[in-house]
Amino acid sequence: MHPTRSSTPDLPAGTVLSPEVADALSTGRPVVALESTLLAHGLPRPENRAAADDVEAAVRAGGAVPATIAVLDGVPHVGLTADEVDRVCADPDLAKLGVRDLPVAAALGLSGATTVSSTALLAAAAGVGVFATGGLGGVHRESVDTFDESADLTALSRTSLVVVCAGVKSILDVPATLERLESLSVTVVGYRTTTFPGFYVADSGSTLDWSVADATEAARVFAARRELAPGAVVVANPLPLDEQLDPALHDRVIAGALAAADDAGVRGKDVTPFVLDHLHRASEGATLAVNVRLVLRNAELAGQIAAALAEVAR
């Protein structure tokens, strides 16, 4: 089967849908979007390639079709073939593309992995209502001085889809990020909890006003949100306590990673990949194992929510 060029008005011209994704969307079957930045910049090689297959398998286990999103030679792809996943995972120079970078990549025929913001944009434009990731971007520590805040937050305020995550990345200012999400009117619910997860650990120290008990409730919240106004529903899915990173190790390696980034003069979008690599080495691989585990859990839950959303829509 050959890839399908999308004619959906909201998608960039020439966007390619994989045959499976195109068929699922045309027949109303559930689809879950996956970002490619996790593969290209969030996980080390060659572990990232095996993780790519495992994450897509987790979406299928949840009852949905996976749609990994990337830009290849200037063309957005919603759903990747095995060869295209190979390419994303193998290229050490693949660009990191947020929403602001998409027009540059399109105009100049460049390739790149999509972040949360650009994945959400392309997914929603394609008609994909659910997106699974690891952790969201947010307000960085010391943002009062640096004004460093992820574009994920404003993108989610404008984009209608469910985002399943394990909170925000541990290197961020969690309370400030939750305040910004509230200011931007992004709906945030905990999955079977009112404790906001801390990515590698189950408890970030912040709480939530609302929770959902199962995938059907999450789908119903999103269906109601979609009727009211544009914007995302963030479903925060914590790791079980017996699967989280040891909290003492977590605090130690995070402090060390942030200090190393500061000493190296790393700024902006380069901070996250630098810190993730430092964490992997400092924890002797423990953070990598937890990162993969939480993404798999989020992917399966996202598949369940997408399947429930398909039922709600009928």
Residue from 35, 84, 149, 300 carrying the catalytic annotation: 35
Burial of 256 (0-12, 13-18, 19+ CB in 10 A): middle
What is d(CA 157, CA 136) in angstroms, rounded to the nearest whole number?
13
Per-residue tokens: 138: 């947010």
Is the preceding peptide bond at 46 cis, omega within 30 degrees of 0?
Answer: yes
Catalytic residue from among 56, 84, 169, 300: 169
Active site residue 284: no
251 annotated to bind ligand: no
What are the C-alpha distances in Å from 173 to residues 167, 300, 302?
11, 27, 25
* Cross-strand bridge partners of residue 132: 34, 164
Sign of CA dihedral 143, 145, 147, 148: negative
Is 269 annotated to bind a ligand? Reply is no
71 is in an annotated binding site: no
**CA 266/CA 261 separation, integer angstroms:** 5
Residue 35 bears catalytic tag: yes
148 is in an annotated binding site: yes
Is 99 annotated for ligand binding? no
Q: Which residues are annotated as a binding site for substrate?
A: 96, 116, 150-152
Catalytic residues: 35, 169
Q: Which residues are annotated as a binding site for Mn(2+)?
A: 148
